[in-house]
């Protein structure tokens, strides 16, 4: 991916924060979505938002898995939906449990390695859509998606034509500790906990005794939050067990479907030394590691900055996979 940051946005933090708060996400009108509620195998629900723009029945469907505390209103979700519209593709944003504006019912939420959830969601899309299926995961969603692709190995190709992760913490241990330090702790950690803690407390109201409320309220970083809430609710012993077992990086060599991993080298959350290199991935995985872009930023000039550069690059990768498959078939 060839990416050049605007001169007026130097550094990973500015590229991250500007993209989330100030950037332009679409060319004409804002994407609008219609919502479907899907019942999960454990009798809970997830809400899936479908972009309302027109597409042919056999056009590709782009599935966007959001990041930590994200939704279809996130800047990257709107940008991907608009890029899909221009290409004539359908687009859907499934919400991880508790992220659609309504608390889910089960005594669980969502986590970075939730590949079982990814699996049933993608298989349902596969059953109901005639055209090729592309899946992109942003940050946490991308780690879970790559974890799924590694678990499925060659079977992933029966469900999707290609997958991509964008700014994903593929080594959760390295990224988890990085977000708990310095500026990251002051700004990003505080922002995430401001929505995660109230949602966890609502979960405790639903299911009394699920965890210790005082311990949760004392949490000042994601490590502590995950130790009290995320890890035990999802079958992990503690944060260390969760972060190590949920990380996608050790599984990237098993991926057999076309996959793209995009990570900016100045991402404030993800230490560059923790990123996968060629030796860590299978031949099916393409690594794009541009020097700049921030965390799910990639704002592009001219002012005011758009955030379409990254979605357009990812969708270009997807389109090339279908084209290559068609040429191989006809050849």
pLDDT tens-place string over residues 280-304: 999 999 999 999 999 999 999 766 6
* Rounded (10°) CA dihedral 210, 211, 214, 219: -130
pLDDT at 118: 98
Average model confidence (pLDDT) across the chain: 96
**How far apart, in whole angstroms, are the C-alpha atoms of residue 307 and residue 1?**
14
Q: How is residue 74 written in tokens? A: 């996130």
pLDDT beneath 50: ranges in the chain = none
Say how far apart CA 115 and CA 149 lie, in whole Å. 8
Structure tokens at 193: 């906990």
| Calpha distance 304→107 (Å, rounded) | 43
The per-residue pLDDT for 325 is 76
Beta bridge partners of 16: none
3-state secondary structure (DSSP) of residue 169:
coil
- Residue 102 sits at φ, ψ, to 5 deg, of -135, 135
Q: What DSSP element (H or E) covers 216? A: helix 213-217
pLDDT score, position 32:
97
In which residue are the tokens 């900055």 written?
Answer: 305
Which domains are present in the chain? 12-171+248-330 (3.40.50.1820), 172-246 (no CATH)
Q: What is the CA radius of gyration of the chain?
A: 19
The residues near 162 (Cβ < 8 Å, ≥ 6 apart) are 134, 135, 257, 258, 259, 260, 317, 318, 321, 322
DSSP symbols for 108-155: ----TT-HHHHHHHHHHHHHH--S-EEEEEETHHHHHHHHHHHHHGGG
Tell me which residues are annotated as active site.
139, 267, 295
**DSSP output for 59-116:** S-EEEEE--TT--TTSHHHHHHHHHHHHHT-EEEEEPPTT-SSS--SSS----TT-HH
Report pLDDT for 329: 67
Report the Cα 6 to chain-centroid distance in Å: 24
Per-residue pLDDT reduced to its tens digit, 67-90: 999 999 999 999 999 999 999 999
Q: What is the pLDDT of residues 208-237, one digit of tens each?
A: 999 999 999 999 999 999 999 999 999 999
């Amino acid at each position: 991916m060839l990416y050049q940051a605007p001169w007026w946005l130097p550094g990973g933090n500015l590229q991250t924060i500007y993209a989330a708060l100030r950037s332009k996400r679409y060319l004409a009108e804002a994407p609008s979505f219609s919502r479907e509620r899907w019942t999960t195998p454990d009798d809970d629900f997830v809400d899936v938002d479908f972009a309302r723009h027109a597409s042919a029945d056999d056009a590709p469907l782009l599935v966007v898995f959001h990041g930590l505390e994200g939704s279809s209103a996130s800047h990257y979700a709107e940008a991907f939906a608009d890029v899909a519209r221009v290409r004539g593709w359908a687009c859907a944003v499934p919400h991880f449990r508790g992220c659609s504006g309504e608390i889910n019912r089960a005594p669980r939420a969502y986590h970075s390695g939730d590949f079982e959830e990814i699996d049933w969601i993608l298989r349902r899309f596969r059953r109901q859509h005639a055209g090729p299926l592309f899946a992109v995961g942003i940050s946490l969603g991308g780690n879970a998606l790559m974890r799924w692709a590694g678990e499925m190995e060659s079977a992933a190709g029966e469900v999707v034509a290609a997958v991509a992760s964008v700014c994903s913490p593929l080594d959760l241990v390295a990224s988890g500790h990085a977000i708990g330090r310095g500026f990251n702790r002051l700004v990003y950690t505080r922002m995430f906990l401001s929505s995660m803690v109230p949602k966890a407390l609502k979960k405790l109201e639903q299911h009394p005794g699920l965890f210790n409320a005082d311990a949760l309220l004392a949490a000042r970083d994601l490590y502590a939050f995950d130790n009290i809430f995320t890890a035990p609710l999802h079958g992990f012993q503690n944060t260390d067990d969760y972060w190590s077992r949920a990380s996608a990086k050790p599984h990237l060599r098993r991926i057999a479907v076309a996959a793209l991993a995009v990570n900016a080298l100045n991402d404030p959350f993800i230490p560059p030394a923790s990123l996968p290199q060629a030796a860590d991935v299978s031949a099916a995985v393409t690594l794009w590691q541009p020097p700049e872009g921030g965390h799910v930023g990639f704002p592009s000039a001219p002012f005011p900055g758009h955030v379409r550069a990254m979605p357009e690059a990812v969708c270009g990768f997807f389109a090339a996979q279908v084209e290559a498959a068609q040429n191989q078939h006809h050849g």
